[in-house]
Structure 1
Amino acid sequence: MKLKHIGKNYNVNENLKEVAEKKLGRLDKYFKEDVEAKVTYSQEKNLRKVEVTIFLSGTVLRAEESTDDMYTSIDRVVDALVSQVRKYKTKLQKRYQSGETIRFENIPEIEEKEDEDAPKIVKVKSFGIKPMSVEEAILQMELVGHNFYVFLDAETDLVKVVYKRKDGNYGLLEPAF
């Protein structure tokens, strides 16, 4: 796996990179060599946050963990990614039947059981979608008190989603073809 290290409000030293590469090396058995991953290190007050995004063709695996120690955050984010790979093995197998990016033989089988606590769709809501600008969509989102809003972009005729980020700013999701 090819890692790209990025520091946001945090100085990433060589020792930290080496430790991260060693720990994330646990994931190498699940992916082919050409898979790319982005490791972002940041510090917010007393928390050290590690965010890892693994880019597979058509899918993105992402995990983030925050603790008071950067090395502990790395350990936890690796555990979270291993858990994701194991949990979604069958879904990933259906998508990547050729096995071009994922080595499924290295992912242990997990007995799938009927889990009553598993998330399920409990409500379906239909709504009209009208053309508007991004600024108008943000205003509508604030007016309804939600943290996201789906709208039809008046300029591009594409369905987009505007959302409120944890830092108080806004994000925009738009389809890529």
Structure 2
Amino acid sequence: MEIVITGRHTQVSQKFRDVVESKMNRVTAIAPDAQRAQIVVTHEGNPRQADTAKRVEITVVAGRTVVRAEASSSDEYSALDMALDKLTLRLRRTRDRRKDHRRGYVNPVPVDLGPIEAAPAEEPKDEEPNNSPQAAVASDLGPGESVEVQVGDTPIVIRRKLHIAEPMSIDEALYEMELIGHDFFLFVNKDTGRPSVVYHRHGWSYGVFEIDTAENVAKAKKEA
């Protein structure tokens, strides 16, 4: 399995890289078909957030399945352990779902997010031509590509990424949302053809947003 480790606002030590290499066998033990793992370490410079100053994000690609987990702590090693615990739990769920499929249950087709790009190296501030929110949405992106722009001198960072989605049902979208550990998931509803979002509400309840134009809705009503 290919392992890519990058840092945002921080340098990644060789010791941490060695620890990651040794602990990723937990992933291959559960998902022997895992092809690539990307680990991103982020440092939060705000001293008020010292308890969560280090965030570790792990993304694993196994076949066409993408599983993601993240955690924050005062140091990158404990954050790594917590993120790995979440990741291995989700990988086990994926493995069990595949077993259910072989028993005759329906297994949804996951979204192919394309190749995961390593985090781009940060440019010095005096080399950034346009440090504004508009710059984050001005350029064209390819599938899987992303861009980040910091808003002025604030800690706000806008990240934009192009996601290629395959049509799927709401149930399949909920499954994908749980795999990547997000509170929402963008997809194309295969029943309506509309761009849609599933999201967590309270407790075990979920919500669904569908997007369409007033012209298309009016046209559909006339045709009905």
Q: Deviations over 1:23-76 (max 9, x none)?
A: 222222123366111011110133101111001222101001111111000111
Partner of 1:171: 160
Change (3 A) 1:176 1:77: same
Partner of 1:147: none
Instruction: Work out the percentage of aligned pairs sharing the same amino acid.
Output: 24
Change (3 A) 1:28 1:172: closer
Change (3 A) 1:91 1:34: closer
Change (3 A) 1:170 1:21: closer
Quote the Cα distance in structure 1 between the aligned partners of 2:44 and 2:69: 17
- Which amino acid in 2 is paired with 1:27? V
Which residues of 2 match residues 83-162 of structure 1 at below 5 A?
83-93=89-99
What SS does structure 1 have at the residue aligned with 2:24? helix
Partner of 2:6: 6
- Which amino acid in 2 is paired with 1:6? T
Q: Deviations over 1:10-31 (max 9, x none)?
A: 1011100001111222222123
Q: Deviations over 1:131-154 (max 9, x none)?
A: xxxx9xx9xxxxxxxxxxxxxxxx
Change (3 A) 1:5 1:29: same
Among candidates 52, 59, 68, match of residue 74 of structure 2: 68
What SS does structure 1 have at the residue aligned with 2:72? strand
CA-atom RMSD, angstroms? 3.0
Partner of 1:123: none
Change (3 A) 1:63 1:34: closer
Partner of 1:150: none
Partner of 1:25: 25
CA contact (8 A) 1:2 1:33 kept: no
Among candidates 55, 73, 82, match of residue 61 of structure 2: 55
Are 1:81 and 2:70 counterparts?
A: no
Structure 1 position 90, deviation (Å): 2.8
What SS does structure 1 have at the residue aligned with 2:97? helix
Structure 1 position 170, deviation (Å): 5.3
CA contact (8 A) 1:5 1:39 kept: yes
Change (3 A) 1:66 1:89: same
Change (3 A) 1:32 1:15: same
Change (3 A) 1:61 1:8: same
Aligned length: 111
